[in-house]
Amino acid sequence: MGEFYEACPDKTIADPADCEVRFVIRFLNAKNVKPAEIHRQLVEIYGENVMTDEMFRKWVRQFNDGRTNGHDEARSGRPSVANDGLVSKVNEKIRENSRFAIRMLCDEFPQISKTVLHEIVTNRLNYRKLCSRWFPKCLRMFTKRRDLAVL
């Protein structure tokens, strides 16, 4: 393996995927290559900023403990504020006045951020703005077909 690196000293890989680097660590660790040598080879091929020493040691330790997967574990993340009850209340307000603006919804729902309200309107309820009115996304296709038939 050392011959390849000596034959191609100028070959580097820019911006590798994190899992790629981890699987290289796993592979070389399984071949009983010393951690210092693994790290040296990683830096040689992937560059100085490939992985911090602390993260490198963490992954070597995990692979020695029996870990086989080099991908990140699933994370729970921050829970969404946009529950079904809030989505239905926003939908009711929209149906009362289709000429609303997101900032008007902010007045109705002061505890919810403008970004979350926009996400509810556009992604959860599938409304799109058309000539200062909000329409369900499916209606846009209907009006486009109707307008093309008139031509």
pLDDT in tens, 34-69: 999 999 999 999 988 888 888 899 999 999 999 988
pTM score, whole prediction = 0.46
65-107 pLDDT tens trace: 999 888 877 766 666 777 888 899 999 988 888 777 888 888 8
pLDDT bin (cut points 50, 70, 90) of residue 142 is: low
Options 1.10.3470, 2.40.50, 1.10.8, 1.10.10; CATH for 18-65 is 1.10.10
Greater pLDDT, 132 or 107: 107
Beta bridge partners of 129: 134
Domain boundaries, the chain: 18-65, 84-124
Percent over 70 (pLDDT), the chain: 74
